[in-house]
Structures are given as C-alpha cells and as structure tokens.
Structure 1
Amino acid sequence: MSLKRRTKFEQRFEQFIGNLLRVGVILATTLVLIGGILYLIRHGTEVPNYQFFRGVSPEFRTPDGVKTSILLGRNRGIIQLGLLLLIATPVIRVIFSLFAFIKLRDFTYIIVTLIVLLGLIYSLI
C-alpha cells in the first residue's frame, strides 16, 4: 500500500489555508478585544437596565452599517467588524478551496465544496 505523494501545489495550498485561518482568527480576535476594551472604558461603569429588552441596533445588521458605525467612532462597530471577519474567514477558506480543486480538476471535491459554499451563503442570507 503506497501513500499518494502530495504535489508542491498541494503542500503550498495547505500551508496557505492554514495561514489564512490563523491570521483571520487572530485579526478577528484582536479587533473584538480592542473594541471590547474601548467599550468597557467608555461604558463599563454604567448600570444595565434589564427591565427592557433592546435588540441589536439597525446599524449593525449590514456590513455597510458596521462601516458607518466605525467611521463615527462607535466602539461596538469595532466589535461587530471583528465578528464579521470571524464569520468571513471560513467562507473565504471554502472559496479558495474551490479554486484549488478546480485547478486540480478533482470533480468530486468541486461538487462537495460547491454544496458547502451554497449552504454557507444560504445561511448568511
């Protein structure tokens, strides 16, 4: 029984994907941490009112709203950007995997990756 030898492309791609996931998670975590610290500096001493439920502000429901919030200097916008990046990281990984499988002409994995990508896009919409 012989093991299939990986090509240079496959080795580089695996390293690229690993780095992509690592950098994406580290960057997202850093943004959430910075936003959280800034938020606590500004609002940490406020007493919460649990008698009324306040949902997510409409400005945080779209990426454009998050961008506007950051440009206006709101700390929650930085936290939301970190969370959006955390969500986008695996989606970007699936997209790059799809391109790699197309280059390798591995039709089974192309179909599986397309199904996964469509499921991710459907769940985000």
Structure 2
Amino acid sequence: MPFAPPLIFVADDDAATLELIQIALEREGFAVRAFGSVEGVLAALARETPVLALLDVRMPGQSGLDGLRAIKDSPNGAALPVLMLTGDGRLDRIVQAMQLGAAGYGMKPFEPRQLAAKVRETLAGM
C-alpha cells in the first residue's frame, strides 16, 4: 500500500498567504488542501479527515473562530487539532481561540519554516 502523506486543511482568504503556507507544508511532506474560506474546510470535513486544520482568524463570511467552533462541535472534528493564524495580534481573539479548543496559534507575518515546525510540534503533542 503506498504511503499517503498526512493531510492538512488550510483556510485563508489571502491567496498569496494560502500559497505560501501550502508550499511550506508540502515541502515538509504534508498533503495540503487549501481553501479560501472556512465554509470550504467545513464542507471538506464531511469527505476527508485531515490530521490538522490551520485557520486564519479574520476572514469574510465565517471567521476562523466560527470555523473552530463548528469543527469542535462536529463529530468528525472534535479531536482534530486546529491552529489559528492571526495578523492583528489581538490578545482577546487568541484567548477566545484557546478557550474554544485551538491547539495553538501563529502570528502573521510568519517564517514558513517556523510555521511548519509549529505544525510538527502540534502533531507530536497529540
């Protein structure tokens, strides 16, 4: 049976950031499904089971915090580690994400290798 790389879902409304994250994680051996919205992640969760989700906090439509809440309330997402990305550094949003069950967070802008290391560290702790 061929080896399947661990699957990660990533949601960010900024196409350049989404591409940077995807490239960084694929270089580290992950398979990445990139979405421009939280709604895309939630729909894909019905079909696939990632090892981790990475959500931008601020997005049009459902926010990353809305997505985190929905993932944690879903039967197939309750145990899924979710990392949040934020560019505004608002402590209240970070605290809220952690209270909702986020496994951690990263700040934008980020260094791609550091983000990949954060993903690996989160998965190792699960």
Max radius of gyration: which structure?
Answer: 1
TM-score range, shorter-chain basis? under 0.3
Structure-1-length-normalised TM-score:
0.21
More helix by share: 1
Higher relative contact order (CA 8 A, sep 6+): 1
Which structure is higher in strand share? 2
Give the TM-score, by structure 2 length.
0.21
